[in-house]
Each structure stands twice: as structure tokens, then as C-alpha cells.
Amino acid sequence: MRTESVLRLSENALKVLEKRYLKKDENGNVVETPEEMFRRVARAVAQADLNYGASYTEVEATEEAFFELMTSLDFLPNSPTMMNAGTELGQLSACFVLPVEDSMEGIFEAVKNAAIIHKSGGGTGFSFSRLRPKGDVVGSTKGISSGPVSFMTVFDTATEAVKQGGRRRGANMGILRVDHPDILEFITCKDDNNRFTNFNISVALTEEFMKKVKEDGEYALINPRTGKIVKTLKARAVFKTIVKHAWQNGEPGIIFLDRINESNPTPEIGEIESTNPCGEQPLLPYESCNLGSINLARMVRNGEIDWEHLRERVHLAVHFLDNVIDVNKYPLKQIEEMTKANRKIGLGVMGWADMLIQLGIPYNSKEALRLGERVMKFIFEEGRKASQALAEKRGVFPNYEKSIYRGGPKMRNATVTTIAPTGSLSIIAGCSSGIEPLFAVCFVRNVLEGTKLLEINPYFEKIAIEKGFYSRELMEAVSETGSISHIPEIPEEIKKIFVTAHDITPEDHIRMQAAFQRYVDNAVSKTVNFPNHATPEDVERVYLLAYELGCKGVTVYRDGSRDEQVLKKGSSQKQSEPQSTQPTTPPGRIVPRERPEVVKGTTRAMKTGCGNLYVTVNEDEHGLPFEVFNHMGKAGGCAASQSEAIGRLVSLALRSNIAPEEIIKQLKGISCHQHTWAKGGKISSCADAIAKALELYMTKKDGNGSKNPGYESSPIVGACPECGGVVEHEGGCAVCRNCGYTKCG
């Protein structure tokens, strides 16, 4: 008997599902409801029980259990499973690692295989550490090798050309060992943000390297082709170079490769060289993994954790993920063989910040760290019990006798737990992402062209109403930065509970990551957020702390460190306006300031649907915008005349002391029929382009990244390339809270 659906989804969850998950016909029209999607997934995944002697009645019962597990929003599998289960494509895995052999044939075999995986909806990780360094001899032709970084360009270009399953763009992780001769070129390869846009990159740090960093010693660079030392470098200097570039734009990340291999469950099968795109899933070459997350926000009853409910959900989720391995349609035969031989699954969590809020525990407290470790230990132990129970019924994974479990517990799965990013999943589930703190207590979301919706954390809204300090004006003030730390009307005890990613220290981020890592088989995806004023030394301290606390890798992001960073005016700061030197005028009338003979400014090329628009912003003696000139790449025509007219009116407003942010607010988001996409996101019209150029000028004055003192950044990466909404850095990735777009697949 089928269960009645109790699915309760937010408006934003429905929007994300319709855009990315629900089946569509050949014309792009949605042809299933969310309930039908979950039914499709539950039915497809339950069929695996037939392989192990279950009757059709028992399979129907499993289908109902899986359906209820997902529609309750207690658990959701990774995106490809929800998109593709029960469809012709049928590829259900999110994570893959492919080997890159040191030959032209091996390199392009990996490129081909990656394209096949991206087409099916997966993300790929590569280690380029086997490739001979730049300048090394190529034996077959007596030529000279161009090195790993050069070949990464081929992978990046191929990824750009492939649209994942018609719904997602491919994502890659590129890894190079720190002892590879080309390591310095690799560390700096993403200095240009337009390069390797489909790659996250990480440096694989060895124990030997970290030892030399502490000793301030030298370490060897080894040619992977010959195994010979080619030179030595100062370890601390290389480490500081990694730190400096991560401080500049968030890349490269780091992974502790030897530590990862210490927990490799099948060392006799091979060495782990790489991870998936977000770094939480170390995998052998040709291995894939199926991930899913339990919603901890729904594991609280009457102010306490419902451990029995959590236990039941863990066991059912492990059953679900093990079934996925069997019903999956693998993109490559080698991947199917390796995946089924090790049967790795990755059960993680989302809604951690929500659980803490319900329990009244500050995220940045020792109590939260202790509870995080306790919760993950419970999931880890119960997950292993569930895997052992499946092993009794279905048998151990085929490589069991070559694993670390040999002679110990009978395990169905070589790994059970992973903390993955849950950007889109958490939107659907209506909870906080992964183990991240709240990104914002309140923010503005685009719902229609030019229409804004105030999105308020439901727990905060409820408390604000109960405590009597709720008002629309206060919520709008909170939305300007996302944080309540600067709002005097809010009680201090509430501020402690509703801390955001930028209210806590980077060390707090790392300590939480380490608390969960202690009971995670694989790794933990987490972003360590830094304020804009953080120094490279701050990043270095966090890297060293992560190493000391047992983390397997680190991803950092310093607010405002990317060109496309979108900035907002903070409520606690007021822009100082120069006093007008104009004569007294009748009440209600403003006379614009006169233009001096010489002004200085910058010109920015903005891509629009009508062609390139060159926006020149000149400033006054106070360093504030004074006038704007616009020039269309195509001379003449309606668009050119309109953009010129807008420039004249904007200049008039600026010279009349109208605050630039008020002008930006009026122009930004105006839409015409000719939309286009640029590096910073969606450009809706020429007016929108002018607003964004002015906004960029205010936030990137003189091109050196310094901020105008009247502007404070909200912690977001930039504009979503699909909807123009807010894109946040969290869980080791970037995600749009508006439409569910994620950079990492």
C-alpha cells in the first residue's frame, strides 16, 4: 500500500526542482511533479533488492520506505541520483576519479572518458602527477614535453564543450603532488580568473614536505618519469607561495595526500592520487562513489536530538546507497568494475547549523564541537552496523580480502561516510548546507524579473516574533549584510545562536571540520571563510591548524578576493558626501556641481545583448564617482542613443550628490529582450550593464581590489551565470541560493 505524500517544499525548492531535477519533455516542459520524481527514484533504487532474493512485495515495501525517507526530507541522495534514477540515462554517481597516464594516448583517453562522464552528469578528479615535467624529453619523438599545466588546458576546453546531461556543466579537480618539478607553475596557474574556469585545483602535500616546512628545510622535486631528483626547494617558501595564492583568490586548495592514503581501505588495490571536484571524496583511479546526506535539522524533537530516529534513518540511507551501486548505469566499464569491487558509499549530513540553533548552542562554542563529534560518531558507528548487516545478507564487497577489514568486521562497503557539499540539496530540504554555519540570517532573493523577495531564516523569524523585536525594517537591515551582529535591537543571547560564516573565526571553521573528520571514512567538504582584511599569515595559521587537527584537506575563501565578487552597502556604514559648493537655490531644487577641467577615471568593457558597451566612470577630488560616459561598440542606433542618455542622467545624478548605490539600485536588474552572459553573471540590459559597471568601480577602485570606505561586502562570490542571483562560497564550492546552480556539479 502506498504512503500518502507529506512533501512540504518551499517556493525556492520548487523552483530548483523544476529547473534542475524534474523530468522534461523534448520541448523543455516539466512533465513530473516533485512527488513523482521521488517516486521514480524510490522505485528504481528499490529494484536492487531483487538481486538478493527479495520478493516483489518486499521490494514494494522498500520502495515505500525510500519514498518516505526522501519526501520527509530526512535524507536526500546526490543530485545525479535524483535527476537520473528511473530514466534512460540512469547514471547516478556524482564523483569519479580518472587516471592520467604519461603518454599522449593516456592523456587523451582521460579527456575522452571525462567527456563521457560529464555528459552523464558526473564530476571528475585527476592527478596530473604522473606526467613528465615541462622541458623533459619525449622519447618517441625526441621532442620536449609541455608539462602538466599545458595539458590541463585540453581538459578544461573539453569540459567547456560538454553540457552535463543537458542540466549541469562539468566540474573537475586537478591535483599535483608538491614534489612534482612543475609545482610552482601549477600553484600559480589560476592567477588569471579566466583560466581553468572548469577546474578546482589542489596541491597534494606529503608528510615529508610538511616535516620540512616545520624544520625550514629543503625538499626534493622528483621527475615522475625517471624517479630522479631534479632539484630541491625550500619547503617553507613553497608553502608560503601556496598560502599567498589561496589568499589571493581561494586557489589552490591543499590535501594531505599521505594522510588520505593512511585511511585508504584497499591499499593493495592501489594508491589514492586524487579526489572528486570538491575534495571530500578521495578515490582510486576509475572509482566512483554515491553520496547522500541526512538532514540533521529534522532529527530534533522537543529541544533534544532524537537518536532513535537518527539511527533508523542512517540504516535506511545505507541500504539506499548500497542499492544505488547495483542499479547504476556506469559511463565506463572500468568504472563499473572498480566501483562494484569496493562498493564505496558516502553518507553525510546537512542542516548542522539548524540543529545547533534548535538546541540553543552557538556554532563557535566548545559544546558545538563536542556535539558535532558525538553526532558524527553515532552516524559512523550506525552506518558501519548497517553495512555489516547488509554484508550478512548480501556478502562483503569483492575486494574485502585485500582491504584493511580482512580478518575483522564483515563489511558490505569499503567506506560508509563522507561530508559532501549540499548546496542544491539543502535548498530542496529547506535547511542549512552541510556542516557550514548559516551563510546569512536574512538575504534578498530574485524571484521574477526585477522582483525581490526577503528570505528570512525561519528559526530566526520565529524567535524574533516570540521575543517581540520583529519588524520588516529590521529584517531589511539584517539583509544588507546577512549578519545580526551589528543590530543593537537584537538581544545578545540571540546573536550568539544565529552566527554566520563571517561572524566566526577561521579557526572556528577548521575546528568544526576536524571534529567531524574524526568519524568520517573519506573527507569533509568545508569552506573556511576569511574577511577581506585577513592576511596571508592568517591563512597560513589555518593551514597548519588543519594539519595538526587531522583534517585531510582545506579550502579557503577570502571575502572579496575574486573579480566577480558582488558587494553591498553595509547598514552600519554611511557614505560621506562632499559638501556642495554651489550657490543657494530655491527649496526642493538641486544645482549639479560644475565639472572641473580635468578629471580621472577608468573604462570597463561590459558585454551586453546589443554588443560591447564601454563604460567610463570619472571621479571627483574626493575619489567618488562624478560622471559616467557610455560608448557602444556598434555606433549609432537606438541602443547607443539610449545608453548615452542613461550616462548623461547618471552623471547629472552623481553631480547632484545622489548616492551611487541609489543609482545602482534603480538601474540594476532592468531587463530587455536581449540578455547575455558575462564573466560576472547575467547582463539583462544596457542599463543593467551600466549599473554593474558602476558597482564594480565602487568595489574595485583603480583595479587594485581596494574598497570604497562607504561599502561593505556581503559574503557572496558573485552573480550566478544562470539567473544573476547571489552565489555563495560554502562546502568547498560555489552555489546559487536562488536557482540551485553550483559550480562543482
Q: HEC states along 235-300?
A: HHHHHHHHHHHHHHHCCCEEEEHHHHHHCCCCCCCCCCCEECCCCCCEECCCEEEEEEEEEHHHHE
Backbone angles phi and psi of 381, in degrees to 5: -70, -45
Secondary structure (3-state) at 376: helix
Grid cell for residue 305: 536530538
Residue with cell 542549512: 432
> Do 222 and 181 touch, CB atoms closer than 8 A?
yes
Segment holding 604, helix H or strand E: strand 600-608
The pLDDT value recorded for residue 580 is 35
Find cell 595538526 and name the residue: 548
Cβ-contact 88, 62 below 8 angstroms: no
Residues pairing with 346 in the sheet: 291
Strands 553-558 and 253-256: antiparallel
Per-residue pLDDT tens over the stretch 365-420: 999 999 999 999 999 999 999 999 999 999 999 999 999 999 999 999 999 999 99
Q: Which three cell numbers stand for residue 695?
A: 558597482
Instruction: Give the pLDDT score at 703.
Output: 45
Please tell me the predicted confidence (pLDDT) of residue 121: 83
The predicted structure's pLDDT at residue 591: 66
In this prediction, residue 324 carries a pLDDT of 98
pLDDT at 735: 79
pLDDT on residue 661: 81
For residue 524, give the DSSP letter: B
Q: Which helix (H) or strand (E) holds 464?
A: helix 458-467
Residue whose C-alpha is closest to residue 424's, from 162, 727, 677: 727
Catalytic residues: 276, 278, 280
Please answer whether residues 254 and 202 qualify as being in contact, where contact means their C-beta atoms are separated by less than 8 angstroms.
yes
Say what the pLDDT of residue 151 is: 96
Cβ atoms of 346 and 418 closer than 8 Å: yes
Q: What is the per-residue pLDDT for 705? A: 44
Amino acid occupying residue 670: I
- Domains with residue ranges and CATH for the chain: 11-89+289-429 (3.20.70.20), 574-711 (no CATH)
Residues of the chain with pLDDT under 70: 1-6, 140-141, 163-169, 446-451, 562-591, 622, 633-637, 673-681, 700-726, 732, 743-745
pLDDT of residue 450: 55
Q: What is the pTM of this model?
A: 0.80
Compute the C-alpha angle 610/615/616, nearest 5°. 160
